[in-house]
């Protein structure tokens, strides 16, 4: 089947009728519900873009000859790697990097499962076949995915097996002829219930060996599998008016707690079963993490470009762009953008064929970028907030401007250096929705925790960084000075 259209994506969601709950109620039709329908429209637009720009977004399937999504393409040359990234960038230019779980993110993960499928044979040769088949199935059917990696936050000082209710986290409870029955909770599935399927993978920090095995699983199942429930947080979309809520009315993806109530996972959908060692190595050894990071850094660049554009437009609108510290703050964002672009360039141009036959970007460059961005993103949001000052709160609505009595007052009161009140407020509402509304502050929180806890990631980064080369330079330098040792 060729790549899907937006209409097909929506049609599948209607048909699937996934179990999604919000505000204490089951949602009848996510495609019509105010909390989900606009995010679904944006996702549909992404699928439509595949057909608006087929040269950029589609390629010929290696198995069926159908035109399928290029974000599933296994790159074998640097040119293909760049082509794949350009398709990702096309989607990111539409979302401005604000839908962190647009399909390209998990498509990168699934893509790597194909060539690297033999990795999963370590648990069982059948699991390798499952991984291979799933990668092809997802590509040929343009499957949209949500995913879940982590256990509930009960008591982080204890390993899962020692929790007071150890059964709260997702685990295997039974095996039978058809498959494995799993039960328990997983967090935190962004876009839960508004995709076709869920990918359950482990987080890569299970350090208690066999004690972690019951919780160490990887599989994929349709979102309407009996017993699977998505418990959605309240929506941060406060209205459909694009003037009032320019971003949250388009890109509010939603986050969900995932409850598995004795859910059957068929044998042919299992990739890892009760093996923490394999789980801990899966992302790294299949190079899925490298391809996912390649997508993420592309998203980060699109997001930084947009944020820079908003900052510059805002500066201009109230005439602060000539002040020294204001310029310096703009420079901070420019430097971030240029640095991220350099990381991406280095990653792509130093790419090498890995042992699975995938052209794989230089992870040193991507790893630096993915460790740095969560640290710098909150600062960029802060810069926008600082420069916007009172303007971030002086944000009347479209309805206020339309009111005969107060509209003209506001239009005059809110005027900018070279824009009228209505236009200036539009810029500030955009800045507010990007950084300060519930949607905007989630963006900051999201970026901070995108790849996991940045503190733990930083520690892991430090531990595996090649330090000896730098220490030896210092040793050589000191010894080259030939200073006589003082006899004490």
Ligand X SMILES: Cc1cc2nc3c(=O)[nH]c(=O)nc-3n(C[C@H](O)[C@H](O)[C@H](O)COP(=O)(O)OP(=O)(O)OC[C@H]3O[C@@H](n4cnc5c(N)ncnc54)[C@H](O)[C@@H]3O)c2cc1C
Q: Site residues (CB under 6 A) for ligand X?
A: 101, 147-150, 153, 156, 188-190, 255, 442, 445-446, 449, 452-453, 455
Q: Based on CB atoms, which residue is closest to ligand X, 292 or 302?
A: 292
Query: What is the distance between the alpha carbons of residues 443 and 433, in angstroms, rounded to a whole number?
Result: 10
**Kind plus residue range of the DSSP H or E element containing 258:** strand 255-266
Q: In 3D, which of 64, 274, 79, 315 has the Cα closest to residue 182?
A: 274
Least distance (Å) between residue 250 CB and ligand X: 17
CA angle 318, 320, 323 (to 5 degrees): 170
Least distance (Å) between residue 186 CB and ligand X: 7
CB atoms within 10 A of CB 13: 25
CA 110 vs. chain centroid, Å, equals 14
Q: Based on CB atoms, which residue is closest to ligand X, 209 or 357?
A: 209
Least distance (Å) between residue 124 CB and ligand X: 24
Q: Based on CB atoms, which residue is closest to ligand X, 26 or 445?
A: 445
Least distance (Å) between residue 447 CB and ligand X: 9
282 CB-near residues (< 8 Å, 6+ apart): 119, 120, 201, 202, 204, 218, 271, 272, 288
Least distance (Å) between residue 92 CB and ligand X: 17
Q: What's the alpha-carbon Rg for the chain, to the nearest Å?
A: 25
Least distance (Å) between residue 57 CB and ligand X: 23
Least distance (Å) between residue 412 CB and ligand X: 40
Query: What is the distance between the alpha carbons of residues 239 and 139, in angstroms, rounded to a whole number?
Result: 35
Which stretches within 389-453 are classed as H helix? 398-402, 407-413, 421-435, 438-448
Judged by phi (left if over 0) then psi (alpha if -120 to 50, else beta), residue 260 lies in beta
Report residue 404 as tokens: 């005969």
Least distance (Å) between residue 207 CB and ligand X: 10
Q: Based on CB atoms, which residue is closest to ligand X, 233 or 346?
A: 233
Instruction: Please tell me what DSSP assigns to residue 103.
Output: H
Phi and psi at 411, nearest 5°, equal -60, -40
Report residue 266 as tokens: 């068929």
User: Look-up: residue for tokens 């097996």?
Assistant: 161
Q: Based on CB atoms, which residue is closest to ligand X, 345 or 449?
A: 449
CA angle 207, 211, 214 (to 5 degrees): 110
Least distance (Å) between residue 255 CB and ligand X: 5
Q: Based on CB atoms, which residue is closest to ligand X, 75 or 254?
A: 254
Q: Based on CB atoms, which residue is closest to ligand X, 250 or 442?
A: 442
- Crossing angle between the packed helical segments 363-388 and 454-464, to the nearest 10 degrees: 140
333 CB-near residues (< 8 Å, 6+ apart): 304, 307, 308, 311, 380, 383
Torsion from C-alpha of 395, 400, 402, 404, nearest 10 degrees = -130
Least distance (Å) between residue 101 CB and ligand X: 6
Q: Based on CB atoms, which residue is closest to ligand X, 58 or 138?
A: 138
CB atoms within 10 A of CB 457: 16
Q: Based on CB atoms, which residue is closest to ligand X, 46 or 414?
A: 46
Strand 197-200 vs strand 145-148: parallel, antiparallel, or unpaired? parallel
Report residue 99 as tokens: 């839908």
Q: Based on CB atoms, which residue is closest to ligand X, 292 or 318?
A: 292
Least distance (Å) between residue 169 CB and ligand X: 11
Q: Based on CB atoms, which residue is closest to ligand X, 370 or 424?
A: 370
């Amino acid at each position: 089947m060729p790549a899907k259209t937006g209409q097909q994506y929506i049609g599948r969601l209607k048909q699937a009728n996934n179990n999604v709950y919000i505000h204490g109620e089951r949602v009848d039709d996510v495609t019509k519900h105010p909390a989900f329908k606009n995010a679904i429209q944006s996702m549909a637009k992404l699928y439509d873009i595949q057909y608006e720009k087929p040269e950029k977004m589609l390629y010929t399937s290696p198995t069926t000859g159908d035109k399928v999504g290029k974000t599933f393409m296994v790159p074998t040359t640097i040119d293909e790697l760049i082509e794949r990234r350009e398709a990702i960038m096309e989607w990111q230019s539409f979302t401005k990097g604000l839908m962190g779980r647009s399909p390209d993110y998990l498509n990168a993960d699934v893509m790597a499962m194909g060539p690297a499928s033999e990795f999963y044979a370590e648990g069982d040769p059948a699991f390798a076949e499952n991984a291979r088949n799933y990668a092809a199935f997802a590509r040929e059917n343009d499957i949209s995915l949500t995913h879940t990696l982590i256990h509930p936050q009960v008591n982080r000082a204890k390993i899962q097996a020692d929790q007071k209710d150890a059964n709260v986290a997702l685990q295997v409870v039974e095996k039978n002829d058809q498959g494995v029955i799993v039960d328990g909770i997983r967090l935190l599935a962004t876009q839960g219930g508004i995709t076709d399927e869920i990918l359950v993978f482990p987080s890569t920090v299970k350090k208690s060996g066999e004690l972690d095995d019951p919780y160490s699983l990887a599989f994929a199942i349709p979102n309407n599998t009996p017993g699977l429930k998505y418990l959605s947080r309240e929506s941060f979309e406060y209205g459909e008016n694009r003037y009032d809520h320019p971003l949250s009315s388009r890109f509010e993806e939603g986050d969900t707690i995932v409850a598995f109530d004795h859910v059957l996972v068929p044998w042919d959908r299992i990739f890892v079963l009760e093996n923490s060692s394999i789980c801990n190595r899966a992302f790294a050894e299949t190079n899925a993490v490298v391809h996912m990071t390649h997508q993420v850094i592309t998203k980060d660049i699109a997001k930084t470009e947009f944020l820079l554009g908003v900052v510059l437009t805002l500066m201009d609108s109230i005439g602060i762009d000539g002040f020294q510290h204001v310029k310096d703050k703009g420079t901070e964002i420019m430097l971030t953008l240029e640095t991220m672009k350099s990381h991406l360039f280095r990653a792509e141009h130093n790419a090498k064929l890995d042992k699975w036959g995938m052209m794989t970007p230089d992870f040193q460059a991507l790893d630096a970028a993915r460790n740095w961005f969560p640290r710098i993103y909150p600062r960029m949001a802060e810069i926008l907030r600082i420069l916007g000052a009172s303007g971030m709160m002086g944000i009347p609505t479209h309805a206020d401007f339309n009111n005969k009595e107060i509209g003209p007052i506001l239009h005059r009161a809110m005027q900018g250096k070279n824009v009228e009140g209505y236009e200036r407020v539009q810029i500030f509402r955009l800045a507010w929705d990007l950084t300060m509304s519930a949607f905007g502050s989630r963006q900051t929180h999201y970026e901070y925790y995108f790849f996991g806890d940045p503190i733990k990631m930083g520690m892991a980064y430090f531990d595996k960084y090649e330090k000896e080369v730098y220490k030896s330079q210092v040793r050589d330098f000191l010894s080259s000075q030939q200073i006589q040792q003082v006899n004490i």
